[in-house]
Amino acid sequence: MSGTGTLKWDAHLDDMSMQPNIFKCIDKLVTSTVGKSTNVLWHDCPIGQFERQELLNQKGCVVWITGLSGSGKSTLACALSRELHSRGHLTYILDGDNLRHGLNRDLCFEAKDRAENIRRVGEVAKLFADAGLICIASLISPYRSERSACRKLLHNSTFIEVFLNVPLEVCEARDPKGLYKLARAGKIKGFTGIDDPYEAPSDCEIVIQCKAGDCATPKSMADQVVSYLEANEFLQE
C-alpha cells in the first residue's frame, strides 16, 4: 500500500473465504491509506454529532485561546468553562501545560515539537467538538500555519479563535512561574516572546485587548466569549 488517502482495492478480499467475519457484511472492502496507516476503514454509526448536540442542547465547537505565556489563557479558559457550566452547558478544557504532562509529554518546545503539539491538540479538540462538547483549548500555539490547520479540521465556523492580546511587558511583569526571569537569564532557551517567535492572529473571531494596568477581569473576558457563542447559536438555551 502506498500513498496517503488513496482508496485501494485489496484483491485478496475478493475471495470471500479469505475474509474474516467483519468483512462478510461488506460486499467489497475498499481500504484506504491515511498517513502511515494502511488498510483502515472509516465506520459511521447511527448516533452522530447531530444526535449528541440535540441531547446536550448545544453545538459542538472549539474555542481556541492563543496568546503569550502569562497572557491569561488558562484563567480565561477556566472562567469561560465555569460560566458555561453555570448555564447548563458541557465543556472540556485542553490546556497546553496540562497536556504536556500526559498526551504531549514526549514533546519539547522546538518548532517541530510545538507544531506536533498543536496538531495533536487540534485532533483531540475535533473529537470533543464531534462529541457535542464546547471544547476550550488554551495553548500558546504561536504559529499561524498550525492554528490554521486546526481550523481546517473543523467544519465551517465551529473553530472560534480567541487572541489574548496582552503585551509582552504585561506578561513578563506577571511572570507567575518565574519563567520569563529564567529566560532573560538565559536559563531557558527558545522561550516564546523572548527568543522564540509568536505570530499574532491576523484574522480571528475574537480579540481580547489588555494594556498595562488596564485589563478586563477574567469574568468579563469570559462573558465576551459567551456573547459570541450566543450570537452564533452555539448555545441552545
Ligand X SMILES: Nc1ncnc2c1ncn2[C@@H]1O[C@H](COP(=O)(O)OP(=O)(O)O)[C@@H](O)[C@H]1O
Ligand Y SMILES: Nc1ncnc2c1ncn2[C@@H]1O[C@H](COP(=O)(O)OS(=O)(=O)O)[C@@H](OP(=O)(O)O)[C@H]1O
> Which of 72, 132, 142, 218 is the binder for ligand Y (CB under 6 A)?
142
Up-side HSE of residue 53: CA atoms within 13 Å toward CB? Answer: 16
Q: Are 1 and 35 in contact (CB under 8 A)?
A: no
Dist. CA 205–CA 89, nearest whole Å? 21
Question: 121 has which bridge partners?
Answer: none
- Which range, of 11-19, 26-34, 63-71, 193-201, touches ligand X by CB under 6 A? 63-71
Residue 159 has phi, psi (to 5 degrees) of -115, 110
> Which of 53, 58, 74, 91 is the binder for ligand Y (CB under 6 A)?
74
Total interface residues for ligand Y by CB under 6 A: 22
- Which range, of 17-25, 43-51, 188-196, 213-221, touches ligand X by CB under 6 A? 213-221
Burial of 185 from C-beta contacts in 10 A (0-12 / 13-18 / 19+): exposed
Does residue 145 carry a catalytic annotation?
Answer: no
- Out of ligand Y, ligand X, none, what residue 174 binds, judged by CB under 5 to 8 A for its kind, is ligand X
Nearer Cβ to ligand Y (70/132): 70
Interface residue list for ligand X (CB under 6 A): 67, 69-75, 174, 176, 215, 217-218, 221
- Residues marked as catalytic: 141
